[in-house]
Structure 1
Amino acid sequence: MPVILVINPGSTSTKLALFRNLEMISEHTIRHSPDDLSRFSSLYEQRMFRKKLIADFLESAGHPLSEIDAIIGRGGMLRPLEGGTYAVSEAMIDDLRSAKYGEHASNLGAIIAYELSRESGREIPAFIADPVVVDEMEPVAKLTGHPDYSRRSIFHALNQKAVAREVASRYGKKYDEMNFVVIHMGGGISIGAHRRGRVVDVNNALNGDGPFSPERAGTLPITGLIKLCYSGRYSKEEVKKLIKGKGGLFAYTGTNDCQKIQQAIVDGDKKAELAYRAMAYQIVKWAGRMAAALSGDVDSIIITGGIAYDRRFMVPWLTEKLSFLAPIDVVPGGNEELSLAVACLRVLEGNEMAKEYRRAE
C-alpha cells in the first residue's frame, strides 16, 4: 500500500498529511507568523524554510523521505488547464518559480514536491491535482460584452471536483456520467456547472464575479463601481480591498465569521440576518444561472465548503429555493488533503493517467 505525502501550503500555514492508501496516518498544520515569513524577499525563497519543517514532520511521523512512495502538492497559479492530476515537471516549476501567472502560496506545493522528489535519490513521483486555474469553460461562456477582457475560470476546482465524484458514486455512477451544479461556500464562493466531468461554466471566485461572500463583494453594478473608483475617496489598492477582503458580509456586518453572524441572528440582529439572507439569495440566483447553462438537465445540486456546516440557516434557505431544480446533496467542508491523496492514488492505481504540463505556446 503506497505511502503518500500531501503538501498544502497557504499564506500563513503549511498543511501536511501522510496517507497509506486513503487512510490518514499522520497530519500536521504548521502556522507561520509574520516574523517567520517577513525575512524572505519572495515567496520562492520560503521553500527551504518550509522544506525543513516538512522534514521535521516526516521524522516525527516515523516515515522518512526514503519511505514515501509519492508526493502530491496543492496546485498553484499556472496557465489555464483542464482538470486532472498532473505530473510535476520542469516546465511547471519554471512557470511557478517566475510567478508568470500570479504569485500565491499554493505555488510552493509543486515546487517543494519537485525538490523533495529530486533530493530523494530515486525521484519519487510528484504530482498536483485540479489547481484553482482549471479552465474547462466553453468559449461562449468567456465573452463578457467587451473584447478587452474575458471571463476567467478561477475557483475551488479541487473540492468541487472531489465532491462531485463522491456524490456521483452515491448514485452508483461516475463523475463523467452526471450533471451537477456545485456550490462551494467559504471565504470565497464559487458555483460551477459540471457537465459530464467538465466544468463548462463557473464564476471567478477570486476576482469579483458571482455572489458576494463573507469577505468578497462579488459582481457589482458597473456604473456604481466606476463612480466609486473616480470619487477620490479610495486609492486603487483600497478599491481592490473593498472588492476582496473587506467586501461581502464583512462590509455589512463588520465580520467575515459566519458562526458569529449565525449567533447574531439567533440573538435577534435583523441587520445580520438581512445580510446573510442576501448572500443566500445571490447564491441561489447564480446556481439558477448554472442550471440554465446545463439546460435544466441537473442530476444534483451539491452544497459544500465550510458554510455548508450551517444546517440552521444557510442550507435550509438554499434548499427551499433550489430543490425544485434537482435533488440536494450536502457535503460539508473541503478536505483538500484527502482530495489530493485520492487524486494521487487514482494515478498510482492506474485508474487515471497523469497529465503533462506544457508551457503556453
Structure 2
Amino acid sequence: MNEYRILAINPGSTSTKFAVYFNDECKLNRTLRHSIDELSSYKSILKQFDYRKGMIIDALMEEGFDVDSLKYIIGRGGLTYPLESGVYLVNNDMLKHASEGVYGQHASNLGPLIADFIANQIPGAKAFIADPVVTDELDEIARITGHPRFQKRSIFHALNQKATARLHAKKHDVPYERLNLIVAHLGGGISVGAHKQGRVVDVNNGLDGDGPFSPERSGGLPTGQIIDWCFDSRMSKADIRRMVVGEGGYVAYLRTNDAREVEEMASQGNAKAQLIQDAMAYQVAKAIGEMAVVLDGQIDGILLTGGVAYSDYITAYIERKVGFLGRVYVYPGEDELEALAKNALRVARHETQAKAYQPMIDRVDTY
C-alpha cells in the first residue's frame, strides 16, 4: 500500500492547528496558541501570514519531521467566493480572493495561503483546500429573503458538517448521496443544515450569526429593534458587528463563551444561566424543525456535532424536542484537521478528483 504523507492546517482566531498524517494515521497533532497581545501587533489577518507559517515550519523541524516527504498540503478554506462542495487545488485566483477577504476577514483566509507557501518549498507537493465555509449548494428557493436587495448567503461549518455526514453514512453502510440528514454544528457559532442526498440545500449563515444564538453570536435578532438600535445607539459599524458576532449569545448574557462554564453555573442553581442555556438548545431544536420542512419530513437522521455536543444536557434537551422527527445521533467534537486529512487522502487514492477553483460569481452579484 502506498503511504501518502499529508500536512493539514487550520488557522483559527487565537490558534493555528496543524497535523501530520501518514495515510489514516495521525503522527503529529499540534495547537499553536496566539495571545491577544501577539495578534494585536498585526494590523490585519493577512499580516499574520509570516508569523503563523513560520511557527508551523519551526514546529515541524523541532519534531524532526522530513518536511520534504509531505506531498499533500491541505489548509482550511477561507472566505473566498462561493464554491461547490469538494476538494480544490489552490491557484492564484484563490490566493488573491483569500488575501482580499472578498467575503470577509477571518483567520481561515490564511489556510490556502500557508498551504500554498509550504507546498512550493517541497518538490512535487501540491496545496489544497476542502469544503470551505463558503460552500454553496443552496436550492434557489432557499436564497430568497423577502427583499430583492438581499440574498441569503451560504456560509457555514461545511467542513465539519460534511465530514460528520459522511462518517454517519459510512457507519450505516449507505452512500451519503442517498441520505436525507439534518446536521447541527454546535460550537462558538451554530449552523443547522439540510443535507439532501449529498447536497446542503438550506442552512443558516453561521458566520453572521443568522439562526439560533450561540455561545458567541446573537442569532436572528428582531428586525425592527435592530434597525432602531443601529440608528439610535451611535455605535460604529464595527462595534455593532462585534455585538452580533463575537459578543452575542452567552457572552452577552453571561459574560462567557464557555458552554461548560454555563452548564456548571446552571447545575449550581443559577436560574439565569439555566434559562439562557435552555433557550439556546430550544432555538437549535426550532432550526432543526425548519430543516425537517425543507426535507419534506423525509429524514434519515438528525446529527448533532461540534464542541457543545459533548454536553449530555444540551443534546438530551434537543433530542426531547425533535425526536419525533427522526432518530438523533450525537457525534461530538469538530476534528477539522482529520476532516482535511481525509479529504486529501481521498484525492491521493483517486476516490475523488480535486476541482479547479471556479468561484460562482453569479451568486454574489445581488448580495
- Partner in structure 2 of residue 332 of structure 1: 332
- Partner in structure 2 of residue 51 of structure 1: 53
8 Å CA contact retained: 2:83, 2:358:
no
The one-letter amino acid paired with 2:330 is V
The alpha-carbon deviation at position 217 of structure 1 amounts to 1.0
| Aligned counterparts of 1:14 and 1:171: Cα–Cα separation in 2 | 33
8 Å CA contact retained: 2:135, 2:154:
yes
- Partner in structure 2 of residue 345 of structure 1: 345
| Aligned counterparts of 1:322 and 1:78: Cα–Cα separation in 2 | 34
Q: Closer, same or farther in 2 for the Cα pair 1:301/1:247, shift >3 Å?
A: same
- Give the secondary structure class of the aligned counterpart of 1:355: coil
- Partner in structure 2 of residue 252 of structure 1: 253
8 Å CA contact retained: 1:303, 1:328:
yes
- Partner in structure 2 of residue 24 of structure 1: 26
| Aligned counterparts of 1:310 and 1:177: Cα–Cα separation in 2 | 30
The alpha-carbon deviation at position 269 of structure 1 amounts to 1.3
Percent of paired sites with the same residue: 46
8 Å CA contact retained: 1:91, 1:359:
no
Q: Closer, same or farther in 2 for the Cα pair 1:58/1:254, shift >3 Å?
A: closer
| Aligned counterparts of 1:47 and 1:238: Cα–Cα separation in 2 | 26
- Give the secondary structure class of the aligned counterpart of 1:56: helix
1:1-361 to structure 2, matched below 5 A, reads 1-120=3-122, 122-232=123-233, 234-311=235-312, 313-359=313-359
| Aligned counterparts of 1:260 and 1:346: Cα–Cα separation in 2 | 38
Which deviates more, 127-136 or 3-12?
3-12
8 Å CA contact retained: 2:301, 2:328:
yes
State the TM-score, normalizing by the size of structure 1: 0.96
Q: Closer, same or farther in 2 for the Cα pair 1:235/1:46, shift >3 Å?
A: closer
Q: For residues 4-62 of structure 1, what are the alpha-carbon distances to aligned partners after superposition, in whole Å with 9 as ceiling and x for unaligned?
A: 01111122221111011111101111112344334444333322222222221221232
The alpha-carbon deviation at position 94 of structure 1 amounts to 1.7
| Aligned counterparts of 2:263 and 2:42: Cα–Cα separation in 1 | 39
The one-letter amino acid paired with 1:182 is V
State the TM-score, normalizing by the size of structure 2: 0.94
- Give the secondary structure class of the aligned counterpart of 1:77: coil
| Aligned counterparts of 2:285 and 2:13: Cα–Cα separation in 1 | 31
8 Å CA contact retained: 2:83, 2:359:
no
The one-letter amino acid paired with 1:180 is L
The one-letter amino acid paired with 1:175 is Y
Q: Closer, same or farther in 2 for the Cα pair 1:293/1:308, shift >3 Å?
A: same
| Aligned counterparts of 1:279 and 1:260: Cα–Cα separation in 2 | 15
- Give the secondary structure class of the aligned counterpart of 1:167: helix
- Give the secondary structure class of the aligned counterpart of 1:14: strand
Q: Closer, same or farther in 2 for the Cα pair 1:270/1:328, shift >3 Å?
A: same
8 Å CA contact retained: 2:46, 2:99:
yes
The alpha-carbon deviation at position 124 of structure 1 amounts to 0.2
| Aligned counterparts of 2:237 and 2:93: Cα–Cα separation in 1 | 34
8 Å CA contact retained: 2:71, 2:119:
no
The one-letter amino acid paired with 2:113 is I
CA RMSD of aligned residues (A): 1.5
The one-letter amino acid paired with 1:100 is V
| Aligned counterparts of 1:96 and 1:44: Cα–Cα separation in 2 | 9
- Give the secondary structure class of the aligned counterpart of 1:324: helix
- Give the secondary structure class of the aligned counterpart of 1:63: coil
Unmatched tracts of structure 2, length 5 or more:
362-367
Unmatched tracts of structure 1, length 5 or more:
none
| Aligned counterparts of 2:350 and 2:83: Cα–Cα separation in 1 | 21
Number of residues of Structure 1 aligned to a counterpart in Structure 2: 359
The alpha-carbon deviation at position 150 of structure 1 amounts to 0.8
The alpha-carbon deviation at position 251 of structure 1 amounts to 2.1
- Give the secondary structure class of the aligned counterpart of 1:323: helix
8 Å CA contact retained: 2:71, 2:124:
no
8 Å CA contact retained: 2:319, 2:328:
yes
| Aligned counterparts of 2:38 and 2:248: Cα–Cα separation in 1 | 28
| Aligned counterparts of 2:349 and 2:161: Cα–Cα separation in 1 | 22
